[in-house]
């Protein structure tokens, strides 16, 4: 009987030790799971910060692109206006030349006032041509800059899409 009691007591002690060991394992597993969850939360937080930073940069690029687009539109308008002025001046100059030629053909030798006016108009025409050429060059530079910014925005979007697909 003592042997039976000793066996029973020993079995209880073994069961108690098994229970303690199982509880320790369970506690360690929960701690590891908590650590993993915490690490994943931190990683997710970092990824969110990076995504927000990329979005902010993308918004800045878009604003810059919009600004450059508006500048380009303004340059194009000024080119059109300068071109119209140039055409009007050219028409006036052609009219004055026609009047001078009529005066010369009529034997008057041409009106000095008309010749002076024609010379002034030619100078103005040259000035407007130079302005038009400068406006065209500025427009080309603005166009190149806008295309560069557009490429940067597209690259940022592609990077963001790539990072989003790997999440």
Tens digits of residue pLDDT in 13-53: 777 778 888 887 777 776 677 777 888 888 888 888 988 89
> CB neighbours of 46 closer than 8 A, spacing ≥ 6?
none
Quick one: tokens of 65? 């692109």
Half-sphere exposure of 31 (CA within 13 A, CB side): 6
pLDDT at 116: 83
Q: Where are the domains of the chain?
A: 2-165
Tens digits of residue pLDDT in 59-118: 888 888 888 889 888 888 988 888 898 889 888 888 888 877 776 665 555 567 777 888
């Amino acid at each position: 009987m003592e042997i039976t009691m000793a066996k029973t007591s020993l079995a209880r002690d073994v069961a108690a030790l098994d229970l303690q060991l199982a509880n320790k394992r369970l506690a360690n597993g929960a701690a590891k799971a908590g650590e993993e969850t915490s690490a994943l939360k931190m990683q997710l937080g970092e990824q969110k910060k990076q995504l927000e930073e990329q979005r902010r940069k993308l918004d800045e690029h878009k604003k810059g692109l919009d600004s450059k687009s508006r500048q380009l539109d303004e340059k194009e308008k000024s080119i059109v206006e300068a071109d119209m002025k140039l055409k009007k001046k050219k028409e006036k100059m052609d009219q004055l030349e026609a009047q001078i030629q009529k005066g010369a053909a009529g034997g008057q030798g041409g009106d000095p006032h008309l010749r002076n006016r024609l010379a002034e108009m030619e100078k103005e025409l040259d000035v407007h041509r130079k302005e038009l050429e400068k406006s065209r060059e500025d427009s080309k530079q603005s166009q190149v800059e806008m295309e560069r910014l557009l490429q940067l925005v597209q690259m940022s979007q592609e990077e963001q899409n790539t990072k989003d697909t790997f999440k």
